[in-house]
Structure 1
Amino acid sequence: MATTSSGGEAAHPTADREIVIFRMIGAPRELVFEAFTRVRHLSRWWGPEGFTTTTRSFEFRVGGSWDFVMHGPDGTDYQEWITWREIVPSERIALLHGESRDDLNAFESVLTFETAGDETRIVMRTVFPTKELRDEAVEKYHAVEGGEQTLSNLAAYVAELTRDDTGRNEAAPKGRDS
């Protein structure tokens, strides 16, 4: 796993507004992609350490959205909204992520899923509307650490699925997806 805040790419027009995080995950990319695109999986691993997620609505399709609340370990609730902009099965997801559908400070993320031998390399490239919003996300909300922890949670969850012979069927939680 490696993380960069893209500070050294002066020639790249969005370098001062982006965060790039990647991780190797020991599972086929189809399974990693599924864990990222099905609400029954997302609710089991999404978010930094200590956070839980309650989904209000979820429609994984271009133009669809995921309306959810992240519950912080200190009891703070964070309203979140993701709109799916591009989906290339098992390869790429582009999304817009904010507090609501009309959030003027929403950021764009592109996730790529690449086969690397028996593993999957997932890259999460996030571009904020301004350098100031990126810096605030890094300093106030610990976006780099939170992104690393989220991908670590994904890796641990997928490892759990691959250890289970029936994998995908037994991974669905019982009851609500919170």
Structure 2
Amino acid sequence: MSNNAMVSRVEGDRVLVLERVFDAPRELVFNMFKEAEHLKRWWGPRGWEVPVCNIDFRPGGVWHYCMKCEDPNQGQFYGMESWGKGVYKEIVEGEKIVYVDYFSDAEGNTNEALPSTEVTLAFIDAGGKTKLVNRGEYATAEALKTVMDMGMLQGITETWDRLEERLNAVK
């Protein structure tokens, strides 16, 4: 693991910004978010795998996936499945991905009981490294609090650690 810790800050009361520098070229980091074969190897917190990952990587396209807890040490979470769906709004190849992230079921139906997030991922060239900026905007302050209370910050930190490990394995 690198010394490039994730930095997080809240803007206003409904926007969470996460930043981290990865020691990999921007094009490679971008590809990690657009190709199912990469996402299946790093998406999700430690102990969780991605047995289903379908991507239609274009504006209006859908990314539908399942994370499943495969770690018996995670107690009540062991065996649990968590489905998600992203609907792409904007893609600038190598630079930016904007999508709305939803909790869903296995059929891709949105779970309206849980908050959605408009996510903007910016991939910034940092001299052979890549600064990744994730800006998540929630409908309300309560929606942001809900996902924070669910452990989202720990989950994304572990997810980005796994991304770094994947980058190191393929670069």
- TM-score, length-normalised on structure 2? 0.84
Corresponding residue SS for 1:24: strand
The one of 19, 24, 29 equivalent to 1:27 is 24
Partner residue of 2:96?
A: 92
Residue from 80, 87, 110 that aligns with 1:83? 87
In 2, Cα distance between equivalents of 1:134 and 1:99 = 14
- Name the structure where strand makes up a greater proportion of residues: 2
Contact kept in structure 2, 1:3 and 1:144, CA below 8 Å:
no
8 Å CA contact 2:36–2:54 kept in 1: the answer is: no
- Aligned counterpart, 1:157: 166
Q: Which one of the candidate residues 52, 55, 72 is aligned to 2:52?
A: 55
Cα deviation, 1:103-149, whole Å, max 9, x if unaligned, reads 4431111000001112100011111111111111111x211111111
Code of the aligned partner of 1:18: V
Q: Give matches, 1:27-176, under 5 Å.
A: 27-55=24-52, 57-72=54-69, 73=71, 74-100=78-104, 102-104=110-112, 105-139=115-149, 141-162=150-171
1:99 match: secondary structure: strand
- Summarize deviations over 1:50-86 as a string: whole Å, max 9, x none: 1111225321111000111111242111111111111
TM-score (norm. length: structure 1): 0.81
Structure 2 distance, partners of 1:158, 1:33, is 11
Identify unmatched segments of 5+ residues in structure 1. 10-14, 163-178
2:61 and 2:14 map into 1 onto residues whose CA distance is 26
Runs of 4 or more above 6 Å deviation: none
C-alpha RMSD of matched pairs (Å): 1.5
Contact 1:95 1:108 in 2 (8 A): yes
SS in 1 for 2:65: strand
Task: Please tell me whether the aligned partners of residues 24 and 119 of structure 1 are also in contact (alpha carbons under 8 angstroms).
Answer: yes
Could you list the runs of 5+ residues in structure 2 that have no partner in the other structure?
72-77
Number of residue pairs the alignment of both structures matches: 154
